[in-house]
Structure 1
Amino acid sequence: MIYLDRAPRIWLSREPVDFRRGVNGLAALVAQALQADPYSGDVFIFRSKRKDRLKLLMWDGTGVVLATKLVEGAGVGEGLATAGQKVKRPLRVA
């Protein structure tokens, strides 16, 4: 079970990432490209080029959690907002 001290912020990458990246590669991407702390407890979500997979990266206080989600059907990314836009259709991950 993962215990959280606070409600984590959700970071969603609009650009696809190389899905060969593992924990260290994605943590470096968070630190360099997003200028965020990958060990803050926030959830960082990345999508593949084909829009059929998601990777979630999160620090749970004892280690880094890396989860992969395979998306059936239309994929993800169609409902993503650009900076300053509101999301018309929320992204469903579950």
Structure 2
Amino acid sequence: MFRLGADLQVCLYHEPIGFRAGINSLAVPVQETMAPEPFAPAVSAFCNRRRDWMKLLCFDRLGFVLS
């Protein structure tokens, strides 16, 4: 679980993703298009093709959190 603080940036990825994608597959578009550093204090949000499900990727002190 992670907290959404006042200084936390939320980025929404504009392309739909396959929901079988894991942490490594989701970290690539974050690094390439959304933020310069995947370890930055930000939450990256990904949607499926129908836009009815969402995955959140965040870096915590101990590693990535995918929910």
Report the counterpart of residue 13 of structure 1 in structure 2: 13
Structure 1 alignment gaps of length 5 or more:
68-94
**Paired-residue identity, %:** 36
SS state of the match for residue 46, structure 1? Answer: strand
Cα distance, 1:13–1:5 mapped onto 2, change above 3 Å: closer
Structure 2 alignment gaps of length 5 or more:
none
Q: Distance in 1 between matches of 2:34 and 2:9?
A: 13
Kindly indicate whether structure 1 or structure 2 has the higher relative contact order, using CA contacts under 8 Å at least 6 residues apart.
2
SS state of the match for residue 65, structure 1? Answer: strand
Moved over 3 A (4+): 1-6
Compare CA radii of gyration and give the structure with the larger one. 1
Task: Judging by fraction of residues, say which structure has more strand.
Answer: 2
Q: Distance in 2 between matches of 1:4 and 1:23?
A: 19
RMSD: 2.2
Task: Judging by fraction of residues, say which structure has more helix.
Answer: 2
Q: Could you state the TM-score of these two structures normalised by the residue count of structure 1?
A: 0.60
Residue 33 of structure 1: how far off its partner (Å) = 2.6
Q: Could you state the TM-score of these two structures normalised by the residue count of structure 2?
A: 0.81
SS state of the match for residue 65, structure 2? Answer: strand
Per mean C-alpha deviation after superposition, the further-off stretch among 52-61 and 25-34 is 25-34
Q: Distance in 2 between matches of 1:24 and 1:32?
A: 13
